[in-house]
Amino acid sequence: MEVFLSGIGWVTSAGFGWGKQGGECTLADLPLRSPSRKEVFPEPNQRFGRMSDYSKVGLGAVAFALRDAGLETWSTKRTIGVVVATQLGCLVTDLDYHRSVLLEGGGLASPNLFAYTLANCFLGEAAIQFGLTGSSVAINEAREGLDSLCIAIEDLAMGEADTMLAGICDLAVPEAFAGQVTLLPGALFIVLSAAPNPATESYGTVTLTDNGLLYNGLAVASLIELVQAALAGRAAPTHFDKTLQPRKP
């Protein structure tokens, strides 16, 4: 199955942006700052300020990816699906919320924080903000976003949606859980479609094979590697494997 990559957006500790704006997408082991409302949305947005940091980071990257793909503005809801891979999900929000439970025997538990204690909730925010009515799912995996890419491509192949966003989102590992997980904080989303996106030029093609993923025919081992290859316009990741062939239809 071959699909078209037309949008890239990211919020990482090295900065934020989208592909056609220029700049590089880098995941780094540095403190991650949540984007402000003004950095994500040009117009006032009543919801953004109340969101958890996990949601702000994820929603920011979704917004930038859709902007890059020319799909940010909309008038009617669209069957666009989203799948995000995360290792720790909203653990930071969970800890914040649970601290509110520990006070006064739970009597001060915060309903607003609780609403963000599911890893998929920021996908709901994205659905509301951008009118996305496809499937929206968070998955826990440790393959650097490969599973989210596979699910997105497979959903496109099955005709579940014409366009899918696939990405990763994690905040830094909380101190009490240091050493349990190795990850670089940040969020990164790409826009994939079954046919070329008429709203913008595609970066290239992504192909799911029996042996892995190809970007423009060359093997990629993670979502960040795919994105960096697309942004660089290069077609030769360092570990190109000539044995990989596109999946037969």
Partner 1 sequence: MRAVCISAAQTVTGLGPDLDSLWRGVLNNESAIRPLTRFATGRYRSEIASWIEGLDCRNGVSGIHLLLERLLDGFGPVPADATLITASTKGCIDVMESINGGGTGDPAEVTMAHLLDRISGRFGLGSPGVNINAACASSTIAVARAASLIAAGRNEAVLVVCMDLVSEFVFSGFSALQALSAARCRPFDRNRDGLTLGEGGAALLLMSRERAQREGRPELGLVAGWGSANDATHITAPARDGCGLIQAVRQALNRASIGPEQIAAISAHGTATLYNDQMELTAFLTLFGERNLPMNSIKGAIGHTLGAAGGIEIALGLKCLEERILPPTVGMREPDEGGEGFLSCSAQPINGSYLLSTNSGFGGVNAAMIISRGEG
Query: What is the contact surface with partner 1 in residues (CB under 8 A)?
Result: 77, 79, 87-89, 91, 94-95, 97-99, 101-102, 104-107, 109-111, 114-115, 117-121, 123-125, 127-128, 131-142, 147, 151, 154-155, 157-158, 160, 176-177, 179-181
> Cβ of residue 9: shortest distance to partner 1, in angstroms?
19
Backbone φ and ψ of 3, nearest 5°: -130, 170
CB of 74 to partner 1, least distance (A): 10
Residues 6 or more apart whose CB falls under 8 angstroms from that of 66 comprise 7, 9, 72, 130, 165, 191
By C-beta, is 102 or 235 nearer to partner 1? Answer: 102
User: CB of residue 156 vs partner 1: minimum separation in angstroms?
Assistant: 11
Toward partner 1, which CB reaches closer, 156 or 231? Answer: 156
Q: How far is the CB of 20 from partner 1 (least distance, A)?
A: 26
Name which of 26 and 79 has its Cβ closer to partner 1: 79
Separation of alpha carbons 49 and 201, rounded Å: 33
Instruction: CB nearer to partner 1: give 43 or 104.
Output: 104
3-state secondary structure of 86: strand
145: tokens are: 């976003």
Smallest distance from partner 1 to CB 205, Å: 19
Q: What is the full DSSP assignment across 98-138?
A: HHHHTGGGGTT--HHHHTT-STTHHHHHHHHHHTB-S-EEE
Question: Distance between CA atoms of 154 and 106, rounded to whole angstroms?
Answer: 43
Nearest CB to partner 1, comparing residues 172 and 230: 172
Q: Which is nearer to partner 1, 21 or 211 (CB)?
A: 211
Q: How many CA atoms lie within 13 A of 65 on its CB side?
A: 31
CA atoms 195, 201, 205, 206: torsion sign: negative
Question: Measured from the CB of residue 115, what is the shortest distance to partner 1 in angstroms?
Answer: 5
In angstroms, what is the minimal distance from the CB of 192 to partner 1? 16
- Mapped onto helix, strand or coil, the DSSP state of residue 216 is coil
Cα–Cα nearest to 94, from 115, 63, 66, 76:
115
Pairing label, strands 186-193, 2-12 = antiparallel
Q: Which is nearer to partner 1, 89 or 237 (CB)?
A: 89
Smallest CA-to-CA distance from 29 within 144, 224, 185 is with 185
